[in-house]
Structure 1
């Protein structure tokens, strides 16, 4: 927590937030530019809200937890239309694909060439990110995750060239998100902030972004779940998610996300829900190593401040349950026989596990899975 420690934070060049800001994108796009919108089928219906003019191509074949084959298809679409501007219109899956398409569509580099930190050579198009969910905060970060179809593991790419040229957070675009998805993605946003806040690499600059994200979730997540048309709550959660995204570049997440990845890639559980299912037990496990910060998190969520791991687990589990989340891995398709293998896989994700404030053995990872099962 030495404030003199060197740290690098990359931000979008332009940031628009508030009701109606999605329509400003058309004014930002250079006149005559060819635009490729990367979307899900459900978010492709929102293209008309962006105020785009001229040549617009839509690629809407992105799937949740996108694989490298999805990226290849998006790259082929880009090479066919030769875009000047790439627009990511969706949640984290869409925005991560958009980042990589903007960087690679006219490059000789492949996904394998750029995997890891600081290997992307260039950006081949302007990048606009328009969030339609409040969860990953991908619009604010410089990291993209794609699942390898060969190994089933996440491939992480990190580069300043993946930063958005404009990020737009318009609460109107999130109002159709169902309560269950609002809850799960909201806990994902919260977890980004919490994992960065309690990280061994935590830094005062990032701590303050994390605090704002945690407090916004504590204030607005329940409201957004209960009334999807609540513009203030939707905007608050978009900001919470954005702050979480800012935390990821310089600090990153830790064990919570490492443990969540096998649930997504192996069991097909959506990422936000995977994180939410494990959030109470991971926070409780780490509480002895970060007692004051854990107490601060609980207070922000309206819970009893405590350093006791079991109290932390019970309180945060009740918080997630009150959001309507079924807090059982088994209820969402996880198979008990798979837990030992998932534990070994999660433990091997050292780029995240090494950030955790407490060392976690393979056996302790499995114990967390079983407690959440």
Structure 2
């Protein structure tokens, strides 16, 4: 069934630079910047010099892996004191999400709760550059940002075209030092974005094209990137897969897989990519009966054998474990007593669960958690 007549809107960065050494083009582009602010994390701040920026540069390098409201507030306070004329996100998805929000909020009065939800950001005056250092979230391509509310342990989602980058950079050299386990987990996250958009109730023919390209790139390059972190072709292929996944998130978004992964991030402090990797095989198999032909395409692209729900799940789990991912929740601190509460939390994330091609009850969510335990 065609979906190409359903109206959608796609936002993409105004400019994309891709290729080895392309991080240096930030400075070539940003000749106007006298007071740049670089938002980074401890591991990614080392790449700041490669951007070629000049002027009074402030580097904030303590963005945590799962940023919450206090972490965002601390960055905003320092950003406002610096009065930047350019914001640069230099890192993985959490860093890029914080950079988006800082760029949109640092010279205004809106709070995060003011902008939460779709299209509530008043505007943005400060140019934004997003330099990815992992291949997973695709945040550099998207219009969404997620921040954890420490009171509720839930994700606050902001969606606005004002969060799109003026310049996005995919420089594979910045991913060479990413450890194999992180490479594997973030790669599965990139694939999950594509798969969940591809099998989504709101799927669209145009987005299906990006999703197919992303899934095939993961099938072709993820294992190579895990086995040899300096494989430039594989690293670039995975950055493209991640970018395509980020494009998929804008007009279509994810579904049950990400809804089930969120409590693992907020409750167990699992990195976002790892949480999605643990859940991915279970939701892929669960949705098989409702998205049979598209699931078969995914399986073929990844080399998964199995045409039943159980066989497909076993093949997908093996695919992930062969990449070195520990797929048991119990190994990451999960216990049987946690599962029912997590299931209630995940089931309540209707902005994602309602996208899933097959309805999922609270009991079915709990059953997936038990299978992953």
SS of residue paired to 1:303 = coil
How many Å separate the matches in 2 of 1:33 and 1:363? 56
Distance 1:353 1:49, change over 3 A: same
Give the corresponding residue for 1:97.
98
Question: How far off is 1:314 after superposition?
Answer: 0.8
Question: How far off is 1:32 after superposition?
Answer: 4.4
Give the corresponding residue for 1:357.
357
Give the corresponding residue for 1:319.
319
Q: Deviations over 1:301-335 (max 9, x none)?
A: 122262x1111101111110110111101111112
Question: How far off is 1:270 after superposition?
Answer: 1.1
The 8 Å contact of residues 33 and 86 in structure 2, kept in 1 or not, is answered as no
The 8 Å contact of residues 220 and 234 in structure 1, kept in 2 or not, is answered as yes
Question: Quick check: 350-359 or 308-317, which moved more?
Answer: 308-317
Give the corresponding residue for 2:202.
201
Q: Deviations over 1:117-146 (max 9, x none)?
A: 000011131000000000000000000000
How many Å separate the matches in 2 of 1:277 and 1:40? 25
Q: Deviations over 1:85-118 (max 9, x none)?
A: 1000000000000000000001111100000000
Give the corresponding residue for 2:8.
7
Give the corresponding residue for 1:70.
71
The 8 Å contact of residues 33 and 85 in structure 2, kept in 1 or not, is answered as no
How many Å separate the matches in 1 of 2:264 and 2:232? 32
TM normalised by structure 2 equals 0.99
The 8 Å contact of residues 299 and 305 in structure 1, kept in 2 or not, is answered as no
Give the corresponding residue for 1:192.
193
Give the corresponding residue for 1:60.
61
Question: How far off is 1:30 after superposition?
Answer: 3.1
- Alignment partner of 1:109 is 2:110: yes
The 8 Å contact of residues 17 and 167 in structure 2, kept in 1 or not, is answered as yes
The 8 Å contact of residues 32 and 55 in structure 1, kept in 2 or not, is answered as no
SS of residue paired to 1:186 = helix
The 8 Å contact of residues 105 and 124 in structure 1, kept in 2 or not, is answered as no
Question: How far off is 1:45 after superposition?
Answer: 1.1
| Aligned-residue CA RMSD (Å) | 0.8
Q: Deviations over 1:153-192 (max 9, x none)?
A: 1000000000000000000000000000000000000000
Give the corresponding residue for 1:366.
366
Give the corresponding residue for 2:215.
214
Question: How far off is 1:342 after superposition?
Answer: 0.2
User: What is the correspondence of 1:283-298 to structure 2 with a 5 Å cutoff?
Assistant: 283-298=284-299
Give the corresponding residue for 1:343.
343
Stretches of structure 2 that go unaligned for 5 or more consecutive residues are: none
How many Å separate the matches in 1 of 2:246 and 2:33? 32
Give the corresponding residue for 1:328.
328
Q: Deviations over 1:254-293 (max 9, x none)?
A: 0000000000001111111010001111000000000000
SS of residue paired to 1:240 = helix
Give the corresponding residue for 1:175.
176
How many Å separate the matches in 2 of 1:108 and 1:82? 14
How many Å separate the matches in 1 of 2:148 and 2:33? 35
User: What is the correspondence of 1:141-290 to structure 2 with a 5 Å cutoff?
Assistant: 141-290=142-291
How many Å separate the matches in 1 of 2:130 and 2:94? 12
Give the corresponding residue for 1:140.
141
Q: Deviations over 1:190-222 (max 9, x none)?
A: 000000000000000000000000000000000
When the two structures are aligned, how many residues end up with a matched partner?
372
The 8 Å contact of residues 20 and 172 in structure 1, kept in 2 or not, is answered as yes
SS of residue paired to 2:79 = helix
SS of residue paired to 1:41 = coil
